[in-house]
A and B are shown apart, each in its own frame.
Chain A
């Protein structure tokens, strides 16, 4: 780092001493500080995660035996709402929260782009999410039986998606337009790159969900309803969000996050970095799934493009695994929980991608029921939770200034791995029931195992929250909490002050902190 530039948005380079801090609730409510916004996203999404996986477990329990404790309509509403909730209230906001907090730090920005819009997005998301939950509790879920509540639920989904899109635009605009001098996009940390890729896919596909919901709402609220708003048809129009390839779009930020975690904790520069950038980009392109809407386009899953996407998406996942293995082999990885959680995230995603390839084998009749797709969905959601947990454990020292209890994180490695596998794999096996009678006979046992998996995932979300909350008992840490930080977030104090950075040096490589530590090599 030979040259020091004063960054334009740094102004005088001074940091206001009396500026608000994120730990004061009154200021948190009105804050446009990306750190406060990010923390609220993370905590709220984890709370919703506990509720979401409990709801999944309830639905699974309803499928066991003849002692059904829910009415059929309530079970159908619970199934659709819990899946939609896990995507829009848990997976996306968890990654968006990490992105909102970390991306401005990683790219050396003093603030997030459009801070007021980001804050408005947060509170719109939170309010709409609560309305979504309330509407579901009063029989207003997708296909619910109480018309006014269903209208409320549909509007809340539109609110949630709009908020997510606005929040995402803030994050990816930060990564594109507010990078510090010298930090070209190909030098940006892989998590920031993955947020750009994933965020772009979200911005292009989630509005299509708004279009679907809007049609349902208008027909339901103002129409006869004649077609779209008919309760039995509502979920069919929205289910594409929770099936392949679209479901993979919500795992994209996790891929970059795992790359950053492994490289930092292994203490080496990321091997074949440009290749990994390409793999993440390819994964993003192959997860664009808004066109696979069986309700309107019945043959979509028989198309060659669908089959090609299902097969090809496996390649970037395998490529990323190769990159991660190379990084771990060439470094000295410390056995910390973020590494374990990152690998668990990758493994669960790999399982889902392999299941996606099997799904396109037509003679297996896996599309006759949606239970196979639900198994894939469970695996991907568990993968996102593992990635989110890795991110929280990895950046918690930066967020709080203290070390989290790594034992909790290590316990969570087992909990989320077990939970994801138990929740998803039995349903995938059950998908073969139309072909093999023996599997159908074991459906109660398989649903029982899946319920246990969902319960473990709820526990996993709770453990992430616990790890975050109990950091106040941990030891204080320096700016570079791990001692092997590579990207710019580890250059600012822990926790970052308002304004994040005063002055930053010109960035000359993807690992500016390693450059600073190795001046001789740079010269």
Chain B
């Protein structure tokens, strides 16, 4: 009788991760919208400054003490998002839930702080082209932030339903990728609008 050997199962075919690839393209498209808007902002600003005028009218106030905490909050959310990815990759679900929850809290804080910034700005959207540009860019960023929060929340619910494992956690990775893109866009806005003024 021939001896039989219990062979280990064949390794699965290595395939690129569909959700991560798709999210990478979606993130690139999102970033390009902001690059287009910020390019317009900077070119308009350069034209006004070149003509000898100041760019921001006196009635518009952009206090850095309000925008800096927003940036730091979002930078901290990058840490917590990466914490979630590494936790789910180690099958440490408690830490993953905690990290995703804190990320969402940071996102909510950003919405609150930006809303307060709008109340400080002191200019209506129809006041001048500067207002149009600033409200369009920062308002769109808020919308993208809300989309990113929905994405993270959905992945958190799926994680709680037991859908992700140490070997397959593409959903959380994809949400993190989109979140990082959103934070990078805010950093660009912070430098271009709030710091440069």
Q: Which residues of A contact B (CB under 8 A)?
A: 5, 7-8, 113-114, 165-166, 169-170, 172-173, 176-178, 181, 200, 203-212, 214-215, 218-219, 222-224, 226-228, 290-291, 296-297
CB of A208 within 8 A of CB of B22, answer no
Given A8-B12, A177-B16, A227-B129, the answer on whether A207 and B25 have CB atoms closer than 8 Å is no
Verify if B192 is at the interface (C-beta below 8 Å from A).
Answer: no
CB of B133 within 8 A of CB of A215, answer yes
Instruction: Among A113, A176, A207, A215, point to the contact of B40 (Cβ < 8 A).
Output: A215
Which chain B residues border A208 with CB–CB below 8 Å? Answer: 32-33, 35-36
Which chain A residues border B39 with CB–CB below 8 Å? Answer: 291, 296
Verify if B188 is at the interface (C-beta below 8 Å from A).
Answer: no
CB of A176 within 8 A of CB of B132, answer no
CB of B16 within 8 A of CB of A218, answer no
CB of A218 within 8 A of CB of B135, answer yes
Verify if B13 is at the interface (C-beta below 8 Å from A).
Answer: yes
A173 and B128 alpha carbons, distance in the complex (Å) = 42
Which chain A residues border B16 with CB–CB below 8 Å? Answer: 176-177
A28 and B36 alpha carbons, distance in the complex (Å) = 37
Residue on A nearest B44 in the bound complex, by CB: A296
Instruction: Among A5, A113, A210, point to the contact of B13 (Cβ < 8 A).
Output: A5
B115-148 contacts to A (CB < 8 Å): 125-126, 128-129, 131-133, 135-136, 140
CB of B36 within 8 A of CB of A290, answer yes
Verify if B112 is at the interface (C-beta below 8 Å from A).
Answer: no
Which chain B residues border A170 with CB–CB below 8 Å? Answer: 22
A174 and B55 alpha carbons, distance in the complex (Å) = 46
Which chain A residues border B136 with CB–CB below 8 Å? Answer: 214-215, 218
Chain B contact patch, size range = 20 to 34
Give 19 A-B pairs besides A211-B34, A228-B132 with Cβ atoms closer than 8 angstroms. A165-B26, A169-B25, A169-B29, A173-B21, A176-B16, A177-B17, A200-B25, A207-B29, A208-B33, A210-B33, A214-B136, A215-B132, A219-B132, A223-B132, A227-B129, A228-B129, A290-B36, A291-B39, A296-B40
A219 and B131 alpha carbons, distance in the complex (Å) = 10
A479 and B196 alpha carbons, distance in the complex (Å) = 62
A7 and B135 alpha carbons, distance in the complex (Å) = 49
CB of B37 within 8 A of CB of A214, answer yes
Encode B1-39 as 1/0 by CB contact (under 8 A) with A. Answer: 000000000001101111001100110111011111101
Q: Closest CB of chain A to B126's CB: distance in Å? A: 5
A207 and B25 alpha carbons, distance in the complex (Å) = 12
CB of B129 within 8 A of CB of A219, answer yes
A-B contact pairs, 24 of them (CB 8 A): A5-B13, A8-B12, A8-B13, A8-B15, A114-B22, A165-B29, A169-B22, A169-B26, A169-B29, A173-B21, A177-B15, A177-B18, A207-B30, A208-B33, A208-B36, A211-B40, A214-B37, A215-B40, A215-B133, A223-B131, A226-B129, A227-B129, A291-B39, A296-B39
A173 and B18 alpha carbons, distance in the complex (Å) = 7
Verify if B43 is at the interface (C-beta below 8 Å from A).
Answer: yes
A200 and B28 alpha carbons, distance in the complex (Å) = 10
A205 and B33 alpha carbons, distance in the complex (Å) = 9
A170 and B35 alpha carbons, distance in the complex (Å) = 23
A-B Cβ contacts below 8 A, count: 105
Given A165-B29, A203-B28, the answer on whether A211 and B37 have CB atoms closer than 8 Å is yes
Which chain A residues border B40 with CB–CB below 8 Å? Answer: 211-212, 215, 296
Residue on A nearest B131 in the bound complex, by CB: A223
Which of B26, B125, B128, B132 has most A Cβ within 10 Å? Answer: B132
Which chain B residues border A169 with CB–CB below 8 Å? Answer: 22, 25-26, 29
Which chain A residues border B43 with CB–CB below 8 Å? Answer: 296-297
Interchain residue pairs A-B with the least CB separation, the first 4? A211-B36, A208-B36, A207-B32, A177-B16
Given A218-B125, A218-B132, A296-B43, the answer on whether A203 and B29 have CB atoms closer than 8 Å is yes
CB of B129 within 8 A of CB of A210, answer no
A219 and B37 alpha carbons, distance in the complex (Å) = 13
Instruction: Among B18, B29, B126, B135, point to the contact of A113 (Cβ < 8 A).
Output: B18
A210 and B136 alpha carbons, distance in the complex (Å) = 12
Which chain A residues border B125 with CB–CB below 8 Å? Answer: 218, 222-223
CB of A173 within 8 A of CB of B15, answer no
A205 and B31 alpha carbons, distance in the complex (Å) = 11
A114 and B15 alpha carbons, distance in the complex (Å) = 16
Which chain B residues border A206 with CB–CB below 8 Å? Answer: 29
A178 and B17 alpha carbons, distance in the complex (Å) = 9
A204 and B135 alpha carbons, distance in the complex (Å) = 23
A165 and B39 alpha carbons, distance in the complex (Å) = 21
A520 and B39 alpha carbons, distance in the complex (Å) = 59
Residue on B nearest A227 in the bound complex, by CB: B129
CB of B128 within 8 A of CB of A226, answer yes
CB of A204 within 8 A of CB of B13, answer no
CB of A178 within 8 A of CB of B18, answer yes
A22 and B44 alpha carbons, distance in the complex (Å) = 50
Given A113-B22, A211-B40, A228-B129, the answer on whether A181 and B32 have CB atoms closer than 8 Å is no
Q: Closest CB of chain B to A414's CB: distance in Å? A: 39
Which of A170, A290, A296 has most B Cβ within 10 Å? Answer: A296
CB of A204 within 8 A of CB of B44, answer no
A8 and B126 alpha carbons, distance in the complex (Å) = 55
Residue on A nearest B128 in the bound complex, by CB: A226
Residue on B nearest A211 in the bound complex, by CB: B36
A206 and B33 alpha carbons, distance in the complex (Å) = 8
Which of B30, B36, B39 has most A Cβ within 10 Å? Answer: B36
Residue on A nearest B10 in the bound complex, by CB: A5
Residue on B nearest A226 in the bound complex, by CB: B129
CB of A204 within 8 A of CB of B29, answer yes
CB of B13 within 8 A of CB of A181, answer yes
Which chain B residues border A5 with CB–CB below 8 Å? Answer: 13
Which chain B residues border A166 with CB–CB below 8 Å? Answer: 26
CB of B33 within 8 A of CB of A211, answer yes
Which chain B residues border A212 with CB–CB below 8 Å? Answer: 36, 40
Residue on B nearest A117 in the bound complex, by CB: B22
Residue on A nearest B22 in the bound complex, by CB: A173
Residue on A nearest B18 in the bound complex, by CB: A177
Which chain B residues border A207 with CB–CB below 8 Å? Answer: 29-30, 32-33, 36
A134 and B126 alpha carbons, distance in the complex (Å) = 28
Which chain B residues border A204 with CB–CB below 8 Å? Answer: 28-29, 32
Which chain B residues border A165 with CB–CB below 8 Å? Answer: 26, 29
Which chain B residues border A176 with CB–CB below 8 Å? Answer: 16, 21
Residue on B nearest A162 in the bound complex, by CB: B29
